[in-house]
Chain A
Amino acid sequence: MKKAGIIMIIGSLLLLGLFKFPLWNIMLGAPQYPDPLGMNIYIQGIEGNEEFDIQNIDGLNHYIGMKTIPKAEEMWEFDVFPKVIGFMVVLGVIIGVLGFIGKVSYKWFLGWFVLMSVLGALGMYDFNLWLIDYGTDLDPKAIMAYTHPDGTPMTYKPPLIGYQKMLNFDVDSWPATGAYMIFVGMLLTVVAFFVGKKESKQVA
């Protein structure tokens, strides 16, 4: 199960990319912003696409009563996510090494994948909750309180994924490099599972 173990190790190491590359990217373009404003969401915090983008997004959002974009220390997620990812990398590598030397079965690879999928889904769920809160929990004293034609107050939740028109802004929300690295990494652990299965059959 040497080959499968190596693939498992590579797959889990790819998650380390999250410490360097953003997980998600949200871009806000408007007639007045031909160079769109943007934020990159890392597991450790949110950064502007350009140096002053966060400040400028906050400046615009205050008109419609949105909270400022949270600093890293203001959300527990930015403390916990890096730890979870770190743990999963170590766990994946250990499983891979043990698989390599034949101490554990290939089924552990799939186990890791399932655990990671559950954690990922929880992460996305949490991210979406934040987006909802960010886009709907508006300051009642907001300078501009827009309503829908039916009279209900307008809210501004950015799309979890995809494109949406919000007031004068075109909002694009898409996975970024880090997310693609997780995707490939997780895919590799599934590959490791099948390769491991094949390898152990040959041995048997």
Chain B
Amino acid sequence: MKKSINILFSLVIAAGLVSCNNGNDRKSSKGQGGLSTNAAERVYVAPGELDEYYAFMSGGFSGQLSVYGLPSGRMLKVLPVFSQNPENGYGYTEETKPMLNTSYGFVPWDDSHHPDISQTNGELDGRWIFINGNNTPRIARIGLQNFKTEEIIEIPNSAGNHSSSFITENTEYVVAGTRFSVPIPQKDMPINEYKGNFKGSLTFISVDQETGRMGIKFQLIMPGFNYDLSHPGRDKSHGWFFFTTYNTEEAHSLLEVNASQNDKDFIAAINWKKIEEYVNNGGGKMVPANYAHNVMDEHTHSATSTMLKEVLTVNPMDVPGAVYFLPTPKSPHGCDVDPTGEYIIGNGKLSADLTVHSFTKMLDAIENKKFDGEAYGIPILNFEDILAGVVKQPGLGPLHTEFDEHGNAYTTFFISSEVVKWKVGTWEVLDRQPVFYSVGHGMIPGGNSRKPFGKYFVALNKITKDRYLPTGPELTQSAQLFDITGDKMELLLDFPTIGEPHYAAAIPAEMIAKNSRKIYKLAENKHPYASFTNADAKVVREGKDVHIYMNMIRSHFNPDNIEGVKVGDKVYFHITNLEQDFDVPHGFAVIGANNAEMLIMPGATETLVWEPKEVGVWPFYCTDFCSALHQEMQGYVRVSPADSDIELSWSLGED
């Protein structure tokens, strides 16, 4: 307890020191945002005009991925990923329920953190975006043609899937590291035997370049530290991956104190090319596992979930020269690599300085075996030998760094609530701007790639307080947009976000807008329960299951009246939207459904299950105002007693 008070005390002191430096700036800049400039003009996207960038912001504890336009800060869509979404039926329809299957059964929620857009040669290519589920470890792939979650793979032997999902520069791998170390395999054991017995897994998931299909290539089983964040090498350091660690003390209780004792933790440098080669030559150990692999088929509009039963693990000791530890001060959080691939920035969150490692010096130290001991057999490099430079006293609580294309870095500071621009190479601080309040990640479009588009910087803030009209104790989340084209960063706009916006990724709109799908072609619909014409609309009983092959077009359901359903039946509404026109979805809702509505895109088929519990005549209707006769788009199901002998019948347009 005494220690933690000391830490708090020193933080307060340090905060005081920093605010002495720029307290005046700070006060005067509260509520800034360009009344004196033309900031409003620069974020104004006139009616009918379109934004310049798509920004994909993590939905945090909503489990989803939100899509914003920049510079307007307008929300365009929330894409359901790890959480059920009653708004369109994701996770409720028969087709999408398998997407949320896991080894723990159906998990309807997660905490989504770090979106990353696919790359080719280290540059954004806009094929897919990946995001991690933190709580029940999973990685999702969202296709940027359909803006739809197409695949989710569970990560075995992981817990708190936080140092994820970051991709190598040709999207060879999506990488997922565990935050919590755990017994591998899981077993019943005393928690206080953590040290030496718990392990941390770093998972390399290969990506098929044509289909995007993911598969776990190998899991590296590392010492029992916490693996916080990670970043792939770029350009010259391509082939390496860097993970920040904390709790190298391997404490298992009151981590806020006990994991903050070491002067330095590590950045783990992983030569994944070397491990890939080892694995390709038959290396590694296949061990039993149980994890779900869920895939959405674009043509059947249906997901399947497959349980996979083994995973290839690699002990770093078995691949000499593949793993090294780079000592990095004080519980580094973000781990970022500059666009040239030379500099590895460790954002030591409890340090007053920013540590920058040199990739060239790292290789040299490895070559010359300049080691400073080892941990669990993994060589620790000498801090001074690999140090490229230190950004001195830039602020308090550095978390993350992004880059522009002019050799500048932008680091976020949680405690001192600011973003600091500094020069890569000279380590000189160029500018600092307050954020409101306590920024977590920052994001520049392409700012973690070889080719940043350094026009805007988005601060993804952790604390909202008084920035918007109050809405009771629970507030919106908050982001801020800066113009970074000048010498000084300039705050242009505040905008609210969903969930907690952890990381984000943005891409020039023209790279993906042109590929965005308008409709699904009926001719390509391979759903087994699709109905395309009046002739194949029908109702079929299979025991207690009643399958309704229904279709819909402005402005009716076919069939619209159904009789012969009985109490105790399980009724499947398989509905095909026959529209082939842009932006004409139809919805479907039926009274008393214990799940949700479903929204059916033109050309798609979706299925909602309804279990009628009472005798009566029960209505259903279209929920999406589709046409002038939307309100006429309705129908009835007659539900008879369980022992009734009324035969199934259905009709449309009969008097």
Contact = CB atoms under 8 A, between A and B. Distances in A.
Contacts of B582: 35
A143 interface: yes
B628 A52 contact: no
A151 B629 CA distance: 23
B595 interface: no
A63 B581 contact: no
Interface string B577-605: 00111100000000000000000000000
- Cβ-closest 9 pairs across A and B: A52-B580, A56-B581, A55-B580, A59-B554, A143-B629, A52-B581, A56-B580, A59-B581, A59-B553
Interface string A101-122: 0000000000000000000000
A59 B519 CA distance: 16
Interface in A24-64: 35, 51-52, 55-56, 59, 63
Contacts of B628: 63, 144
B178 to A, nearest CB: 48
A143 B579 CA distance: 19
A35 B581 CA distance: 11
A199 to B, nearest CB: 55
A52 B628 CA distance: 21
Interface in B559-582: 579-582
A30 B566 CA distance: 46
Contacts of B519: 52
A143 B629 CA distance: 9
17 contacts: A35-B582, A51-B580, A52-B519, A52-B580, A52-B581, A55-B580, A55-B581, A56-B580, A56-B581, A59-B553, A59-B554, A59-B579, A59-B581, A63-B628, A63-B629, A143-B629, A144-B628
Contacts of B553: 59
A51 B524 CA distance: 14
A34 B553 CA distance: 21
A35 B518 CA distance: 12
A56 B627 CA distance: 13
Contacts of A56: 580-581
Given A56-B580, A144-B628, 6 more contacts: A35-B582, A51-B580, A52-B519, A55-B581, A59-B581, A63-B629
For chain B, the bracket of interface size reads under 10
Contacts of B581: 52, 55-56, 59
A155 to B, nearest CB: 19
Interface of A: 35, 51-52, 55-56, 59, 63, 143-144
Most chain A beta-carbon neighbours within 10 Å: one of B519, B580, B581: B581
Most chain B beta-carbon neighbours within 10 Å: one of A35, A59, A63, A144: A59
Contacts of A144: 628
A70 B423 CA distance: 69
A59 B627 CA distance: 11
A105 to B, nearest CB: 56
A167 to B, nearest CB: 11
A118 to B, nearest CB: 41
Contacts of B554: 59
Contacts of B580: 51-52, 55-56
Most chain A beta-carbon neighbours within 10 Å: one of B579, B580, B629: B580
Most chain B beta-carbon neighbours within 10 Å: one of A52, A55, A144: A52
A8 B629 CA distance: 57
Contacts of B629: 63, 143
Nearest to A35: B582
Contacts of A59: 553-554, 579, 581
Contacts of A52: 519, 580-581
A52 B524 CA distance: 14
Contacts of A51: 580
A36 to B, nearest CB: 12
Contacts of A143: 629
B406 to A, nearest CB: 39
Nearest to B579: A59
Nearest to A55: B580
A52 B522 CA distance: 11
Interface string B124-136: 0000000000000
A30 to B, nearest CB: 12
A54 to B, nearest CB: 10
Nearest to A143: B629
Interface in B530-573: 553-554
A29 to B, nearest CB: 14
Interface string B489-527: 000000000000000000000000000000100000000
Nearest to A52: B580
Contacts of B579: 59
A55 B553 CA distance: 11
Nearest to B602: A52
B556 to A, nearest CB: 11
Nearest to A60: B554
Interface in B256-284: none
Contacts of A35: 582
A18 B629 CA distance: 40
Nearest to A37: B581
A146 B253 CA distance: 76
B550 to A, nearest CB: 18
B518 to A, nearest CB: 9
A56 B582 CA distance: 10
A197 B282 CA distance: 89
A144 B627 CA distance: 12
A59 B579 CA distance: 9
Nearest to B553: A59
A35 B579 CA distance: 17
A56 B553 CA distance: 11
A52 B582 CA distance: 10
A51 B523 CA distance: 12
Nearest to B581: A56
A144 B537 CA distance: 27
Contacts of A55: 580-581
A55 B580 CA distance: 8
